[in-house]
Structure 1
Amino acid sequence: MSSAWLVSLLSPHAALLAFVLLLAGGLALPIPEDVVLVSAGIVAGLGHAGLADMLVITFLGVLLGDVAMYAIGWHWGDRIRQWRFFDRLVSAEREAGIRAAFARRGIWFVFAARFLWGIRVAVYLVAGMSRQIAPARFLLADGLAVLLTVPVKVVLGFYGAHHRAWLEQALHTEERVIGILAGSILLLLTLWWLWRRRISRQL
């Protein structure tokens, strides 16, 4: 799925199609989220949609896709194991590993999962199934991660609409910058959690 093809598809009904594609991607359909986000930015850069509107729509599309997968897990719980697709999406070994990660790291693992494309959907589904992460805490952690990543990709597409070479270079740089920034946030949150834990033990 190329950006050029997506731009031509998105242009007539840009915001709606971007939202639908991102929501579908969140529900485990093979739709590359990054390509949709950059393409949405390009569409806005070419004047077919407003940048602010596209930022809001793409944020909601990604976030609601994540929340939908979490809600499916929360509503159906362990009954999901009877579904045909479940074993392909979440092996027993992976589910055990995700549950253990929730027990150790809680919502920080939800935050980190947004940057781990290969296991992201499985993490959100198991978060709901296990009910180890409360809905409000899931929304907080995932919302922060989405807010950190989505606008960057859309804005890169917006400013790269007329500068393809710059856009290609910026996308490579953006991956490294977001990785460093996400790692720094995780480190700070971990240090804060350890400090809180130490203080609570002293009381």
Structure 2
Amino acid sequence: MDLLERLITFFAEHGYVAVFMALLLCGAGLPLPEDITLVAGGVIAGLDYVNVHTMVAVTMVGVLAGDAGMFLLGHHYGVHMLQWKPIALLMPPRRYAQMQDKFTRYGNRLMFFARFLPGMRTAVYITAGATHRVSFWRFLLLDGMAALLSVPFWVYLGYFGANRREWLGMWIRRGQNSLWLLAGAVLVVALVLWWRQRRRNTAQ
């Protein structure tokens, strides 16, 4: 919670721009937890420094911009990125090979679920771009669908827990599991709708 308090103080002083820039750094692989950053943005809204709905919009753009930046770097520079020192530390060749294997096994679903896997997101997005197996717009769609679940969740959690820090701390600890359940429910609904549509097409 010390990190959360420091972020709250910094964001309260600098507003939306600070939150946006912090999320860009999260997307770039900086060891700054994205969920804590989003919660801190929600807390300053709950303390009336900013508007919470505007904060949700700003954080959505910040998250997607950071993710898209990593995808586009991977798409443009490919495996040459692995020679850059910051990227080499984040994703050595062995890890890149593992990410490629995961794409082979799980396909585009990996880009959706990467949003709920702290520590893996940046590696997944760079690999998605470098492998050229998915278009930018499909990547943005999948990442955006996942962000629509996670970003409002964390921001509104911070907003409603702004003056209840013990309660907030408890739900931050539970939050990742809650998001996994929500993502799983969305996936089940999507699969049911896809199955029904397929049956209709087969019957015609």
Residue ranges of structure 2 left out of the alignment (5+ in a row)? none
Residue ranges of structure 1 left out of the alignment (5+ in a row)? none
| TM-score between both structures, scaled by the size of structure 2 | 0.88
Q: Give the 3 Å change call, closer, same or farther, for CA 91–57 of structure 1 in structure 2.
A: same
Structure 1 range deviating more: 90-99 or 21-30: 90-99
User: Does residue 112 in structure 1 map to residue 125 in structure 2?
Assistant: no
Asked if structure 1 preserves the Cα contact closer than 8 Å seen for 2:82 and 2:93, the reply is: no
Asked if structure 2 preserves the Cα contact closer than 8 Å seen for 1:46 and 1:161, the reply is: yes
Amino acid at match of 1:70: F
Structure 1 range deviating more: 191-200 or 90-99: 191-200
Q: In structure 1, what is the Cα distance between the partners aligned to 2:106 and 2:198?
A: 13
Residue identity (%): 36
Q: In structure 2, what is the Cα distance between the partners aligned to 1:124 and 1:34?
A: 18
Amino acid at match of 2:177: R
Per-residue CA deviation, residues 101-139 of structure 1 (Å, 9 max, x unaligned), is 223332211001111112211110011111111111100
User: Does residue 54 in structure 1 map to residue 55 in structure 2?
Assistant: yes
Query: How do 1:89-108 residues align onto structure 2 when only pairs under 5 Å count?
Result: 89-108=90-109
Question: SS state of the match for residue 152, structure 1?
Answer: helix
Count how many residue pairs are aligned between Structure 1 and Structure 2.
203
Asked if structure 2 preserves the Cα contact closer than 8 Å seen for 1:70 and 1:127, the reply is: yes
Amino acid at match of 1:62: V
> What's the offset of the Cα at 1:199?
9.3
Equivalence for 1:153: 154
Q: In structure 2, what is the Cα distance between the partners aligned to 1:101 and 1:192?
A: 25
Equivalence for 2:21: 20
Q: Give the 3 Å change call, closer, same or farther, for CA 101–192 of structure 1 in structure 2.
A: farther
Per-residue CA deviation, residues 120-173 of structure 1 (Å, 9 max, x unaligned), is 111100111111111111001100111100111110111111112221222233
Equivalence for 1:4: 5
Amino acid at match of 1:45: G
Q: In structure 2, what is the Cα distance between the partners aligned to 1:123 and 1:60?
A: 19
> What's the offset of the Cα at 1:92?
2.6
Asked if structure 1 preserves the Cα contact closer than 8 Å seen for 2:82 and 2:92, the reply is: no
Per-residue CA deviation, residues 76-122 of structure 1 (Å, 9 max, x unaligned), is 11221322233322233322222222233322110011111122111
Asked if structure 1 preserves the Cα contact closer than 8 Å seen for 2:111 and 2:139, the reply is: yes
> What's the offset of the Cα at 1:194?
7.5
Amino acid at match of 2:34: E
Amino acid at match of 2:97: A
Asked if structure 2 preserves the Cα contact closer than 8 Å seen for 1:108 and 1:186, the reply is: no
Structure 1 range deviating more: 181-190 or 33-42: 181-190
Question: SS state of the match for residue 116, structure 2?
Answer: coil
Structure 1 range deviating more: 61-70 or 93-102: 93-102
